[in-house]
Structure 1
Amino acid sequence: MYPESFTQLKRAYASGRTRPLTWRREQLDALRRMIAEHGHDFIAAETADLGKPASETVLMELNLISAEARFVRNRMGFWSKRQYKPMPWSLQPAQGWTIAEPKGVVLIIAPWNYPVLLALEPLADAIAAGNAVCIKPSELAPHMSALIAKLVAQYLDQEAITVVEGGPKETGELLDCAFDHIFYTGGERVGKIVMAAAAKHLTPVTLELGGKSPCFVDNTVDLNVAARRIAWGKFSNAGQTCVAPDYVLVTPDIAEALAKRISVAVTEFYGENPETSEDYGRIINDRHFERLLKLLPAGTVPPQEPSSPLIKAASAVGAAAEMVGRRINVGLDALASRKAQQAPGVIDSAGRLVCGGAVNRETRYIAPTVLLGTQPYAPVMNEEIFGPILPILVVEDADAAIRFINARPRPLAAYVFSNRRAVRLAFERRTSSGSLGYSLTLAQLLSSRLPFGGVGASGMGAYHGKTGFETFSHIKTVVAKPQFPDTLKLVYPPLDEFKTKLIKFL
């Protein structure tokens, strides 16, 4: 099925139907109309898949898609024109320019955490550049996947824009096709698979991945404002945001105060019981839910009761075996530390629970959780959290924070809350991240004028606005030189002494 869909897209692109600016404008207008006329359907699908609040879907997804489509529509004509470049005097008389041409047939693979935004926002950029497009929504958000497939077929050109639903099998079949560009948003593990598949066809890729985005706070800022902005950035979409603050680095003098104020901000946003709040989401599936539970401090989550006597007996045997293994492999010091964690007021490597920790397996609810005093070697620091758990690590100063960040893979985002110019410049010049925010979180996503992308392990390439247009375009160089006068004869062979001296001079 999928090679046939790919063949159809190739045929549509080869016909030239996607190149005219009129076609691009029609598709972008239709995309905006689709968002406006089916906003409630998108909200319902996100609620069904993620338990996401309607306001988050509108603010962080639907509005951004419409804004991006409008932004590129109004500017793509200028971006598509010849861009003249000065030529060196040694080649005169001559002209040179670049022209943006579509790459061809492109594949967009979207994730589940922002399933409509990260499928349709890059689609707007790809359409603006004049490409035929195949969209692969995430199978982990099935309601949204089905809705995107249905509405794209209704509103957009079916011959040049198509949606393929399915799971890893279907994605693998798509990756076997020789697309002209692949745009993938998701995790590092699958990103490596996408890149390896693209290498077979020498297909260029854009990888929007993730990573552990740090946040540094010192004592020069208003802690109430910092706490609110950190809490909003971390706990929106239940922490399932690639640029959410993954952990906080804070100086000792304000660590306790900041943790408490983030806890207060959580209550301000979601009430005394966030489980009943209409503004707080849920974890996408059971696998991610159980993964997150393992990152909480020991004893925070009560064990799940086995469902039968046989399972209970097996669990008891397994628990005993696990304890023996710990004593053998970890050693007496680690065992003593684990016992100490059960005592009131004593923390494990994950840190002390400041707020949150409540869970509900039936609804996949994890309360906004703040941990203070997390150790660098804690399990919660060994992977991208991608959930509503915020570890706070105490560091000596900004230099220590920079060393800590630089010792780890480069993140998709970094945030700095400091009013010291020297501290800001130190983070700007000495750390590398996809984006850097001063005294805010997430906001770098909101402007079509700012490119968005990762670096190193957090991704490659970028999009949004003109950068997105260029990502899905080939920027072709064109040079023209008149036949008269034929100044190039001065460097034609045979190269006598005069020509040799002239070439050296040039």
Structure 2
Amino acid sequence: MATELQYTSLDELKSIYDRLSATYKSGVTRPVAYRRKQLIQLARLMQDNQNALEEAQLADLGKPRFEVSFAEVSPVIQSALHAIEHVEEWARPEKPEVEAWRSSWDTTVYKVPKGVALIISPYNYPYILSFNPMIGAIAAGCPVVLKPSEAVPNCAALLAKLLPKYLDPNAYAVVNGGPTETTTVLGFRWAHIFFTGGIKVGQIVATAAAKHITPVTLELGGKSPVIVDTDCDVDLAAKRTLYGKLQNIGQLCVSPDYVLVPRSIAPAFRESLAKWHKDFWPETPLHPSSQWGKMVNSAHYKRVKGLIERSNGQVILGGDVDEKRISLTVVSGVSGNDSLMQEENFGPVLPIIEVENVDEAIEFVAERPIPLVLYAFTRSEETKQKLIEKTNSGRLALNDTFTMLAAHEIPFGGHGHSGYGSYYGQETFETFTHRRGFTNVPPEMEPAFGLRYPPYTEEKYKAMTAGVHTPIPKK
């Protein structure tokens, strides 16, 4: 298996861009039958190469096979199958209801592909965060250049090898490289850019896109909090919070970043965390039998290790480290200005902040940048309404962590500091689609248009501005 990633040359980057642009202009990707065939091939790519896909992530991230196929291979296949089933319906023109006097205009919304799209995916979930956006682009009729993260060289090399074997190489391509290659690619004029990653690179992507007035989707993550209400099953809340945190050892944009728990139940919550920690890892997460992943590289390892070391809180669980791995670490007694609260942790560390009550927790969240997800454990309808009305987030998820990603029927995306734009299911198709409005005003309408032409008279003025005097409701 490859360990040194072969970067795409700068000349080849331009050649690939030109080739895909020519394909789009030819109209090859527009027929629904073509789109369905490519989606079928993408599903086959994942199904046929399950073992190789698992091996690549095991090499790059130390991720257990279970997590790779459960959280990426299977969902990508299911997402592709869903698109295959619905693409014809999604692509069908819409006939909106119109006012009676315009009923003869054939008013229509056509769903047309935006054009050649660029998808830049991150290292933490290199398959699903590459292919879920790509599925929508394919369904929309858009050619795609996929730029995987160079931080996972085995995964990136595998994608570059497999994609042309299964999909039309004239319409879909993988390019590999680092900052230089990415900067070059961002200099081209794209129809849409879809970026998943951190806010700093997200700002660079948005700036580059602005030069060409290119629409962008930014999935940026952020510090997703967990609020624990006093009326919930505290033991279950601890179990499910820990479960969300263990996914890819916390290297996940929707990972629970910190917990806000009322002081009255904080001891019980900590005890339950300890109980489930022991249940999940009878030895320690770093024990060979635990199948615990590793930080993607030494820079991220040192960053997370440093956050823990600088914290003024108390490590109550974990804290063990080896060369590239950090045990799942729970830190209690954390304050709002602690080192662990300065940036997205994006690693196996879970700070616990004690508050007086849920109202204080809600205020704490509302005063900070908008997270990608807000988790809460509560049975209270009143608390639910407070969360809806007094906080903001990309998504709001009650009584579980991580699994809200399975809800593909509703949009998923950031807001504010956590990004903008959304995808999932039909929403992904819409992201790469231009809704092109159409009207056809028949010549037979001409007698009704007589008053609009010069010379303007007082009579024409009164008739054509009658809408100004439409009655407005008093309240």
What TM-score, normalized by structure 1, do the two folds share? Answer: 0.88
**Mapped pair 1:106 → 2:117:** yes
Whether contact under 8 Å (2:231, 2:380) holds in the other structure is yes
Q: Which amino acid aligns with 1:233?
A: G
Which aligned pairs between 1:193-208 and structure 2 lie closer than 5 A?
A: 193-208=204-219
SS of structure 2 residue aligned to 1:26: helix
Tell me the alpha carbon deviations over residues 150-198 of structure 1, each in whole angstroms, 9 at most, x when there is no partner.
0001111000100001111110110011111100000000000001111
Instruction: Give the structure 2 partner of residue 14 of structure 1.
Output: 25
**Mapped pair 1:471 → 2:431:** yes
**Mapped pair 1:436 → 2:390:** no
Instruction: Name the % identity.
Output: 40
Whether contact under 8 Å (2:120, 2:194) holds in the other structure is yes
Q: Which amino acid aligns with 1:37?
A: D
Q: What CA distance in whole angstroms lies between the structure 2 residues aligned with 1:410 and 1:86?
A: 37
SS of structure 1 residue aligned to 2:18: helix
Instruction: Give the structure 2 partner of residue 179 of structure 1.
Output: 190
Instruction: Give the structure 2 partner of residue 296 of structure 1.
Output: 308
**Mapped pair 1:353 → 2:315:** yes
82-91 or 106-115, which deviates more = 82-91
1:492 Cα deviation (Å)?
A: 2.3
Q: Which amino acid aligns with 1:218?
A: D
Instruction: Give the structure 2 partner of residue 285 of structure 1.
Output: 297
SS of structure 2 residue aligned to 1:242: coil
Q: What CA distance in whole angstroms lies between the structure 1 residues aligned with 2:449 and 2:125?
A: 56
Q: What CA distance in whole angstroms lies between the structure 2 residues aligned with 1:271 and 1:365?
A: 18
Alignment: residue pair count: 454
Instruction: Give the structure 2 partner of residue 401 of structure 1.
Output: 361
**Mapped pair 1:220 → 2:181:** no
**Mapped pair 1:456 → 2:456:** no
Which aligned pairs between 1:253-292 and structure 2 lie closer than 5 A?
A: 253-276=264-287, 277-292=289-304
Instruction: Give the structure 2 partner of residue 25 of structure 1.
Output: 36
Q: What CA distance in whole angstroms lies between the structure 1 residues aligned with 2:181 and 2:445?
A: 59
**Mapped pair 1:505 → 2:466:** yes
Which aligned pairs between 1:87-98 and structure 2 lie closer than 5 A?
A: 87-98=98-109
Whether contact under 8 Å (1:260, 1:354) holds in the other structure is no
Whether contact under 8 Å (1:444, 1:450) holds in the other structure is no
Q: What CA distance in whole angstroms lies between the structure 2 residues aligned with 1:370 and 1:449?
A: 34
Q: What CA distance in whole angstroms lies between the structure 2 residues aligned with 1:436 and 1:485?
A: 50
Q: For 1:56, which of 27, 52, 67 is the aligned residue? A: 67
SS of structure 2 residue aligned to 1:437: strand
Instruction: Give the structure 2 partner of residue 251 of structure 1.
Output: 262
Whether contact under 8 Å (1:55, 1:279) holds in the other structure is no
1:72 Cα deviation (Å)?
A: 1.3
Instruction: Give the structure 2 partner of residue 234 of structure 1.
Output: 245
Instruction: Give the structure 2 partner of residue 304 of structure 1.
Output: none
Q: Cα 1:493–1:88, aligned 2, differ >3 Å: closer, same or farther?
A: farther
Q: Which amino acid aligns with 1:449?
A: E
Q: What CA distance in whole angstroms lies between the structure 2 residues aligned with 1:488 and 1:452?
A: 46
**Mapped pair 1:155 → 2:166:** yes
**Mapped pair 1:142 → 2:104:** no
Unaligned runs of 5+ in 1: 299-347
Tell me the alpha carbon deviations over residues 308-331 of structure 1, each in whole angstroms, 9 at most, x when there is no partner.
xxxxxxxxxxxxxxxxxxxxxxxx
Whether contact under 8 Å (1:263, 1:370) holds in the other structure is no
Tell me the alpha carbon deviations over residues 330-360 of structure 1, each in whole angstroms, 9 at most, x when there is no partner.
xxxxxxxxxxxxxxxxxx62x1211100000
Whether contact under 8 Å (1:372, 1:391) holds in the other structure is yes
**Mapped pair 1:492 → 2:453:** yes
Whether contact under 8 Å (1:415, 1:439) holds in the other structure is yes
Whether contact under 8 Å (1:85, 1:96) holds in the other structure is yes
Q: What CA distance in whole angstroms lies between the structure 1 residues aligned with 2:305 and 2:99?
A: 63
Q: Which amino acid aligns with 1:492?
A: Y
Q: What CA distance in whole angstroms lies between the structure 2 residues aligned with 1:140 and 1:439?
A: 33
Whether contact under 8 Å (1:183, 1:205) holds in the other structure is yes
1:28 Cα deviation (Å)?
A: 0.4
Q: What CA distance in whole angstroms lies between the structure 2 residues aligned with 1:10 and 1:386?
A: 37
Whether contact under 8 Å (2:137, 2:429) holds in the other structure is yes
1:92 Cα deviation (Å)?
A: 4.7
SS of structure 2 residue aligned to 1:84: coil
1:266 Cα deviation (Å)?
A: 1.9
SS of structure 1 residue aligned to 2:194: strand
SS of structure 1 residue aligned to 2:426: helix
Tell me the alpha carbon deviations over residues 21-51 of structure 1, each in whole angstroms, 9 at most, x when there is no partner.
1110110000011111100000000000000
Q: What CA distance in whole angstroms lies between the structure 1 residues aligned with 2:27 and 2:282?
A: 55
Whether contact under 8 Å (2:410, 2:424) holds in the other structure is yes
Q: Which amino acid aligns with 1:77?
A: E
Q: For 1:410, which of 370, 384, 390 is the aligned residue? A: 370
Whether contact under 8 Å (2:284, 2:290) holds in the other structure is no
1:478 Cα deviation (Å)?
A: 0.9
Q: Which amino acid aligns with 1:465?
A: G
SS of structure 1 residue aligned to 2:308: coil
Q: Which amino acid aligns with 1:383?
A: E
1:365 Cα deviation (Å)?
A: 1.2
Tell me the alpha carbon deviations over residues 184-220 of structure 1, each in whole angstroms, 9 at most, x when there is no partner.
0000000000011111111111000010001100221
Q: Which amino acid aligns with 1:357?
A: G
Whether contact under 8 Å (1:368, 1:389) holds in the other structure is yes
Whether contact under 8 Å (1:236, 1:280) holds in the other structure is no
Q: What CA distance in whole angstroms lies between the structure 2 residues aligned with 1:120 and 1:387?
A: 23
**Mapped pair 1:85 → 2:96:** yes
1:93 Cα deviation (Å)?
A: 3.6
1:287 Cα deviation (Å)?
A: 0.4
Whether contact under 8 Å (1:435, 1:452) holds in the other structure is yes
Instruction: Give the structure 1 partner of residue 349 of structure 2.
Output: 389
Tell me the alpha carbon deviations over residues 407-441 of structure 1, each in whole angstroms, 9 at most, x when there is no partner.
11101000011111111110111111000100011
Aligned CA RMSD, in angstroms, stands at 1.2
Tell me the alpha carbon deviations over residues 428-476 of structure 1, each in whole angstroms, 9 at most, x when there is no partner.
1111100010001112211321211000110110111111000001111
Whether contact under 8 Å (1:87, 1:95) holds in the other structure is no
1:90 Cα deviation (Å)?
A: 4.8
SS of structure 1 residue aligned to 2:337: coil
